[in-house]
Structure 1
C-alpha cells in the first residue's frame, strides 16, 4: 500500500509540474517582441543590389518661402512641382509613380506641395484642380497639366529634361 501511495504522489507532482511548464512556456516566435530567427548559415540570402543606390526622395514643401528656396537651389535643373491634397484619390494614385521618377531621374528636382497646408503657393500658381503638375526651368514655367496622367508626366519630363 505504501508503494502505491508514493507512486500516486509522484504522478500527481509530475503532472502538476508538466502542466505548470506547459502553462508558462510560450514559444518565442508567438510573441511579437522577439525578432524572427536568422536564416541557417548554409542558405544563401539574395542581396538586393539596388539597395546600394541612393534613394532620392521627393521633397515636401511646407510654405511659400521653402518653395522659393528650393527653386533658387535648383538653378538650371528641371523642377516638377506636384500640387496635391491628402484626401485626393488621383493624387494618391500618382504618388508612387512620382517617387519612381525621382529615383530614376536624380537630375530632376521633384517637389510636392500640399494645397491645404501651403495655400500661398497654390494661389501663386493659380491651382484649380489636383493633381496639377507644373514644370519649371530656370524658375520659368514651361508647361503645366492637371490630372493623373502618368504617360503625360513622363513625356514632359523627357521633353524638358
Structure 2
C-alpha cells in the first residue's frame, strides 16, 4: 500500500511495495478534507482493502481553531464615573439636589463637590467610593462643579474637593474640605453623623438662605423657599 499526499509528500511502506504498480485499491490522502468517498477495488486480489478519497477546495492549513472573543473591558468611563455604588448619585440639577435632600428622611446625605480638572478630587475618589460601600445606609450625592457653577456659587462652594453632611431635621450637620492626606476628617464625620440612633424627624434639606440663592438665579422655584420654611417650623413645633 502507498500513501500519497498531494501537498508534495510521498510515503512508502517498504522498497518492495514501492516497486509494485499502484493498485486501484491504494490509500490516497489529499491536502484538504471535507467529503469522504469509499470505492471497492475492481480487483480484490490486487487490493483487499478499500480506497479512501479525500477531496475538497480548502487546504488543511486553513482550518484554525479560534477561541470565542470576549468583550474588551470598558475603558470609556471617566475617573469620576468609576467604582460607583448604588448609594452614589450624580446630581443633574439644583431641583434634583433639593428633592434628594428632602426625600432622604433621616438618612445621612453627603454632598461631594468635585471637578474633573481637580487632581485632589481624582486622588480622593477611590476612597470615597470605598466609604460609600461601607456605609450603604448613607446617600452620596456627587456634584460636578464644571457643570453646575451657578449652583455651587449659590451654595458658597469656594474650594474643591468639598463635602457637606445633611441629616434629618438638623439640616446641615457639618461641612469641610479634605484631601487624600486628611481623609480621617471624612471618616470621623461619617462615624459621628452616620451612626447616630437619635430620631431626627423629617429632612430639612438646604438652608432657607441657600434655597433663596438658588431661586434668585432661577435654578429652582421660589415656592420651594416658602414651603421649606413652613415645613421646618412645623417640624420644630412638633418636636417641642
Structure 2 residue ranges without an equivalent (≥5): 10-28, 34-57, 72-84, 195-240
Distance across 1 between alignment mates of 2:192 and 2:186: 10
Structure 1 residue ranges without an equivalent (≥5): 1-5, 35-54
Deviations, residues 65-118 of structure 1 (Å, cap 9, x unaligned): 110010011122221100001121211122222222222112211111001112
Give the alignment's TM-score, normalised by structure 2.
Answer: 0.49
Distance across 1 between alignment mates of 2:60 and 2:70: 21
Distance across 1 between alignment mates of 2:158 and 2:30: 75
Tell whether the 8 Å contact from 1:86 to 1:92 is kept in structure 2 after alignment.
yes
Spell out the pairing of 1:14-25 with structure 2 (5 A cutoff). Answer: 17=32, 20-22=59-61, 24-25=62-63
Distance across 2 between alignment mates of 1:93 and 1:15: 64
2:130 maps to which residue?
Answer: 100
Deviations, residues 26-58 of structure 1 (Å, cap 9, x unaligned): 3313x6358xxxxxxxxxxxxxxxxxxxx5331
Question: CA, structure 1 residues 15+122, in 2 after alignment: closer, same or farther (shift >3 Å)?
Answer: farther
Question: CA, structure 1 residues 21+100, in 2 after alignment: closer, same or farther (shift >3 Å)?
Answer: same
Tell whether the 8 Å contact from 2:87 to 2:139 is kept in structure 1 after alignment.
no
1:156 maps to which residue?
Answer: 189
Question: CA, structure 1 residues 11+115, in 2 after alignment: closer, same or farther (shift >3 Å)?
Answer: closer
Distance across 1 between alignment mates of 2:127 and 2:64: 44
**RMSD in angstroms over aligned alpha carbons?**
2.9
Deviations, residues 123-147 of structure 1 (Å, cap 9, x unaligned): 1221112110111223622211113
Question: CA, structure 1 residues 86+27, in 2 after alignment: closer, same or farther (shift >3 Å)?
Answer: farther
**Structure 1 segments of 4+ aligned residues over 4 angstroms from their partners:** 13-16
1:32 aligns with one of 37, 48, 69: 69
Question: CA, structure 1 residues 27+151, in 2 after alignment: closer, same or farther (shift >3 Å)?
Answer: farther
Are 1:68 and 2:98 matched, yes or no? yes
Distance across 1 between alignment mates of 2:98 and 2:171: 12
Distance across 1 between alignment mates of 2:7 and 2:167: 86
Tell whether the 8 Å contact from 1:64 to 1:120 is kept in structure 2 after alignment.
no
Give the alignment's TM-score, normalised by structure 1.
Answer: 0.69
**How many residue pairs are counted as aligned between the two chains?**
135
Tell whether the 8 Å contact from 1:57 to 1:99 is kept in structure 2 after alignment.
no
Q: Name the SS for the 2:143 alignment partner.
A: strand
2:174 aligns with one of 137, 143, 148: 143
Distance across 1 between alignment mates of 2:6 and 2:167: 87
Deviations, residues 1-31 of structure 1 (Å, cap 9, x unaligned): xxxxx95x73539685499322x233313x6
